[in-house]
Structure 1
C-alpha cells in the first residue's frame, strides 16, 4: 500500500504530465510562424540584409556605399540643447560622426570635424551642417599624430571661439582571422588611431574646456564582448571604455563629464572597407533586430551625453546601443 508521501508524489507527477499534454497539444495545433524580418521600431523603415556585396578601399568613403547610410534624421526636431556651444568631432566626415555633427548643429552647436583623407565626404558633411544654420570647419589630418591634434584643437578654438564638446570617434578596423597573421604594422596602426588619437585629442581639448563641457568617446560592443577576428580592435575599444571611466574621475574636479557610446553593428564606411564582400552583404543580420543600426539611430545618444540639460549627473558611463542582447 503506497505511503502518503508516495501518493503525493504520484499526484504531483500526474499533474505535471497533464500540464505537459495540454502544452504539447497546443504546440501541435499551432501554425509555425514564418521567419521574422528585421525589427523596425524607428520613425522610418531602415535597410536590412542582404546588402549588395561590396568591399571598399580604406579608409572607406560614404558616397560609395550602397545603400547610402542614413544620417539626416528628418524626424528629429531641435530644441536648443546645445545652443551657443562648439563641438569638435573626429571621424566627422561620415558614418556616426556625420550624423552626430548634423544633430549637434540642429541643437544649436557650431561644428569642427576632423577627417583623414575623405575630402568628398567631408564636404558633404560641411554642407549638411551649414544647412542647419551653423558653422562647420573641416580639418584634414591623422589623429595618430600628436602635432596634428594640437593644431586641430587650436584652430577649432580660434575659429569657433570656444570648445565645449569633444567627440572622439575616428577609428581604424580591419579583420585578422588568424591571430598569427596580425602584423605589428596592423596592430600599431589600430592602436595609434583608436587609443593614441583619443588620448591626444582629449589632452589638447581639456586645456580649453570650461565646467559643463563634455567628452564623448566612441567605444564598441567588441570592447564588451570581444571579437575573435578583431583582436586588436576589440582591445582598443575595451581600452577606450577604461579610458572613459578613468578620465571621468580625473576630470570631475574640472566639471567636465566623460562618457562613451558603445555601438553594435552600424552601417558606416568602416565595415564595408573592413569585411569581405559576401560578409558585408549579411552585416548586422545576427543581431536580435536582424539588421545594423543606421548612423541617425546612434547619434541621439551623443546629443543626450553632450547636453547638460539631459545628462548633467552622468559621467564615466558606457552606453551600449547594440540592437538587443
Structure 2
C-alpha cells in the first residue's frame, strides 16, 4: 500500500475515533428511552420509573419509560437490539430475559450478542406464598403435605416458561415434589387468595407481597439461599431442598455496538443514582438489594444461569414458538 493512501486511512480512522470520543463526552443531548418489556405496575416497571427519574436528573436529560409488551419480553428486547447504537435506547429487564427466554424459542429476531451489558442494579428473589387455608404453617409442613398428596396441589405462575414457572419446577425437582402447574396471563394473586389454586411464587416487589403483609396470604419461603432482610422470619427454600438457590437480577443493556465511552457514562451516572439514600430505601422496600455491578458480573451470571435453565427447559420440553 502506498504511503499517501496509508496516511489517509490512518487519518480517517483517527478522525472517526475522535468524533466518537467527542460524541461520548457531550452525551446525552436528547431524551433517552428506557424500554421495559413488561406491563405497568409489575416490579421491573416500578423500579424502572424510580431509576428513570433519578438517572434523568444526573444526566441532565429526560429518561422516559417505554413499555413494550409481548412474546415473553422478546418484543421489547428486539426493539433495543435493533435500535441505533447511540446510547439513547436502553433495555431494562430481569436477567431471565437473557437466560431463560432464549432457550424456549427456536428462532428470535435478535440474539444476546446484539445486546451490550451495562450493569445489574438490583438483586431479587421470589417469595413462596400459599392461601390461608392451606394446611401448612411452615416450609417443612408444606413439603410434607405436598409429598403426601402427589399432584394434588395446584400452583400458579405468570405463564409457561416464566421465572415463576421454572423456579417452582426446579424447587419441585430438588425437593422431590409433584404439583400441577396452572399458568396465568396476569397476576394469579386473587385466585390464590380464594384457593382456586393453592400457591404461587411472587417476585419481590410484586402485587402479592402487600397482600401477605395484610395477612391475606401466608409466606412460607424465599428462593435465594440467603434470607431476605425484609422477610427475616421466612426461611430459604434451600433449607428443605439443599442446593436450591434462585436469585434474579434487574439490569440494563444497550445495543451491542454502542461506544464504550457511552457505556462508561452510564456506569458513572448509575453509580450516583444507586448510592442515593432514597433510591436504596425504595428498592429495599420492595425487598430488592440495590447494586451497580458493571458488565462483568452480568456476563458470568448469564453464562451460569443459561446452563442451569437449559437442562430444565429440555426436561420439561417447553417451546414458546
Q: 1 or 2 for the larger relative contact order (CA 8 Å, sep ≥6)?
A: 2
TM-score, length basis structure 2: 0.28
Please identify the structure whose Cα radius of gyration is greater: 1
TM-score, length basis structure 1: 0.28
